[in-house]
Amino acid sequence: MSDIIQLLPDHVANQIAAGEVVQRPASVVKELLENAIDANATDIKLLIKEAGKLLIQVIDNGKGMSQTDARLSFERHATSKIKKAEDLFNLHTKGFRGEALASIAAIAHVELKTKQENTDLGTSIKIEGSSLVSQETIATTTGTSIAVKNLFYNIPARRNFLKSNTIETRHIVNEFQRVALAHPTISFSFYHNESEIYNLVSSNLRQRIVAILGKKTNEKLVPINEVTDVVEINGFVTKPEFAKKKRGEQFFFVNNRFIKNAYLNHAVTSAFEKLLSGGYYPTYFLFLTVPTKSIDINIHPTKTEIKFDDEKTLYAILRSTIKHSLGQYNVAPVLDFERSASFDTPYEFKNKKSSTPKVQVDPNFNPFKSEEKSTLKYPYKKENTSKWESLYTGINVDNIEVESETINSALFSETSSNSKTYQIHNKYIVSSIKSGIVYINQNLAHQRILYEEFLENITVKEAMSQQLLFPLEISFNKSDIELIKNIKEDLENIGFLFDRILDDTIIIKGIPVTIVESQITIIIEQLLEDIKNDVPETSFSQLDIMSKSLAKTLAIKTGNKLDLREQEELVNKLFSCKQPDLSPFGKTTFVTINIDEIDRKFNN
C-alpha cells in the first residue's frame, strides 16, 4: 500500500493557519495594532475602507525594522518576542506566536514600509498570497506602515462568509476600543472611508474612557483600587443607576491584555447584588495585574481567554473590592459605626440645667358650648347672615338651566358578570369564541400589534409626534452616533424629531405618541443593539429589524394588570392584524381549545 501522508506546501499551511488567526477584518486590525504597541509606538493611526474588506492600514512611529527583519517577519514562526519555551510563561508583549503576518500575507495583498531611527533609508516589501512581489530600499519616516488590501481575495468562500459592512465595522471598532483602553498613554486615531471616527490623545485611563464613550460617562464612574500579594486591581465601574440592558461595555484586562472570563464577570455582577434591576448589567473597565508566571495565555488562538492559577482567590478579592468601592463612594448602603460629631452636645450647653416647658391652658374653654356663648376671642368678625335671601333679589331662577349627569350603568361595566374577556395571572387573556375558548399571550400579542403599526408608519403613512416641553439630551459613543445618523430618517418616520446630532450627544425634541419620555433612552439603546447584532444588506430588512426592536421594547409585559377595556382593545387589535397568530419573532400569540377537547377532559 502506498504512503498517503505528505507535508503540506507552505502556502497551504499558511492559509490553514490564517483560518485560526484571521477570522474577519477585525482580527487583522487586532494583530497589526498589537504589533505597533510591541514596537514601542506612541502614536498609532488606523485606516480602513469598506469595513476592512478593501483596505486595513496601520501606521506607527515605533522603532521600525531592519531590511532583514522586515523580510523575516512574514515567515512562519518568526518572532522577536520569545526564544525558548519557558518564555511563554513570562510574556510582557502582545504578539508572540510568529504566525500573524505570515497568515495575513497568505490571504491578502500586503505592502510593508518600515525604517529604523538610526538609518537614513527604509525598506518596502510587497507580498501577494505568500509570494514575494518586490523588495526595495525607499525613503520613508521612522516607524512602520503596513497596508492589507483585498482580504480573502484568493479564498472567495471565506469572503462570502463575511457579514455586512455595518457588522464588520462594529467588530473593528470593538477591537480598536479594547486596544485603546488598554494603553491610554498612546495616541490613537481611527479613520473609516476617510471619515474620522476617533482621535484619542495621550491621557490617563479616566480621560480615555470618557473620550471613547462620551463626556457624560465621567459622572457615572466609580474608581476601583486594590493592591494585594495576589493581584493588583485598578479601573472603574459605573454607578448602578447607569446600568444597561446589554453587556457590550464590559472590559476585563489582565496585564494590559483584553480577556473574556465568565467566572470573573460573575464576581462583578454579584458585587452589584440587589443594586440592579432584573435584566440590567453593570458597565466596568477593570485592569488586573498578576505575576506572568501565574497565568497561561496560550490556550486560545485569539488569546482572549486566560487560565489562572487560583481563580477562586481572584473571584473573592475582585468581588469584595468592588463592594467596598461602591460603599466607600456612597453608592451602596453600608453600616456606619462611627460617631457623628453632629450628635455631640455643644460646649455652651454642657453644664446648663434643663428647664421644664410651660403649658398654658384656658380653664374656661368648653368645646361643647354653643359658638355664641364661647368665651374664646376670634381674630375676625362674624358676618350677619340672617337676611341671606336678599342677596338673590331680582334673579329669575326659572330661566337658569342646570346641567345634570345621567348615571349610566355602562360606567360599572367592569364589574359586570357578562364580561367577554378575563385576565389570568396577569399574563394571558381568555375569551370565549363559538368553537370554544381562546388563550392570548398579552406580551406576544401586543408585540404583533405594535410591529405592524411601526412598520406601517415607517413605510406607508406619516407617524404622529408629540413635542417635548424640554429637549432631551442623550449621550452615546461615536460609533453609536454614526449608526444613529444612518437610521435618522427612519426614526423620524416613526415619530422621533431631532434637534441636533453632535459628536457624542443627540438632542431629541419630539417623540412618537405611543412612547413615554422616560422610555426613550432604553428604547434607543436596545434598538442600536439589535441593529448592530443583525444588520442585513437591504434597507427594508433594516426597517423590519427596527420595527421588531421597538415592538419588543414597548409591548405590554407579563405581570401587567389590564382592565376590561384594555383587554378587549388588545383582542380586537390582534385579530385585525394581517398575521395575528404569530409574534414578530415567530412565536405563537394565541391557542384555542374547542368544546370537544373540554368535554373529553370531563368524560375521562
- Whether residue 224 is found in the same domain as residue 247: yes
Q: Do 468 and 562 belong to one domain?
A: yes
Please check whether residue 401 lies inside any domain of the structure.
no
The reply to whether 218 and 191 lie within a common domain is no
Residue 557 lies in a domain: yes
* 534 shares a domain with 459: yes
Are residues 532 and 470 part of one domain?
Answer: yes
Reported as a pLDDT band with limits 50, 70 and 90, residue 585 is confident
37 and 59 belong to one structural domain: yes
Average pLDDT, integer, range 303-314: 80
Whether residue 170 sits in one domain with residue 264: no
Q: Would 104 be classed as within a structural domain? A: yes
Nearest-10 Cα torsion for 35, 37, 39, 45:
80
CATH number reported for the structural domain that contains residue 36 in this entry: 3.30.565.10
Burial class (CB in 10 A: 0-12, 13-18, 19+), 529: middle
Q: Which candidate, 159, 148, 186, 155, places its Cα nearest to that of 52? A: 148
State residue 142's pLDDT score: 93
Most confident of 141-150, 154-163, 579-588: 141-150
Both 253 and 314 in one domain: the answer is yes
Residue 403 belongs to some domain of the structure: no
Query: Both 35 and 178 in a single domain?
Result: yes
Of 200, 230, 245, which marks where a domain is finished? 200
Please indicate, yes or no, if residue 162 is contained in any of the structural domains: yes
How would you label 532-554 residue by residue, b for 16+ Cβ within 10 Å and e otherwise?
Answer: bebbeeeeeebbbbbbbbbbbbb
> Is the pLDDT score of 235 beyond 90?
yes
Question: Does position 83 have pLDDT exceeding 60, yes or no?
Answer: no
pLDDT at 538: 46
Domain membership flag for residue 106? yes
- Mean per-residue pLDDT for 264-282? 85
Q: Which residue has the higher pLDDT, 454 or 315?
A: 315
Together in a domain, 195 and 229: no
Contacts of 449 (CB under 8 A, 6+ apart): 551, 570, 573, 574, 577
The pLDDT tens digits of the residues spanning 514-566 come to 778 888 888 888 888 877 776 554 445 667 787 888 888 888 888 888 888 88
Residues 567 and 493 reside in one and the same domain: yes
Exposed/middle/buried for 604, CB within 10 Å: 0-12, 13-18, 19+?
exposed
Q: Specify if 339 maps to a domain.
A: no
Find the radius of gyration of the CA atoms of the chain. 35
Is residue 589 pLDDT above 70, yes or no?
yes
Q: Is the pLDDT of residue 374 over 50?
A: no
Q: What is the CATH number for 309?
A: 3.30.230.10
Instruction: Show which of 172, 200, 228 is a domain's final residue.
Output: 200
* Of the listed ranges 260-274, 378-392, 439-453, the one predicted with least confidence: 378-392
Number of domains within the chain: 3
Shared-domain flag, residues 138 and 225: no
pLDDT-based confidence at residue 327 (cuts at 50, 70, 90):
confident
Q: Give the pLDDT score at 410.
A: 36
What is the structure's pLDDT at 309?
79
Greater confidence (241 vs 183) lies with: 183
Beta carbons within 8 Å of 602's beta carbon, 6+ residues apart = none
Choosing from 171, 200, 229, the residue where a domain stops is: 200
Task: Tell me the residue range of the domain where 46 lies.
Answer: 10-200
Query: Over the stretch 436-492, which tens digit does the pLDDT of each residue have?
Result: 888 999 999 999 998 888 888 777 666 678 888 888 888 888 888 888 888 888 788
Q: Has residue 604 been placed in a domain?
A: no
CATH number of domain containing 430: 3.30.1370.100
Of the candidates 591, 585, 490, 587, the residue with the CA atom closest to the CA atom of residue 542 = 490
User: What's the pLDDT at 17?
Assistant: 58
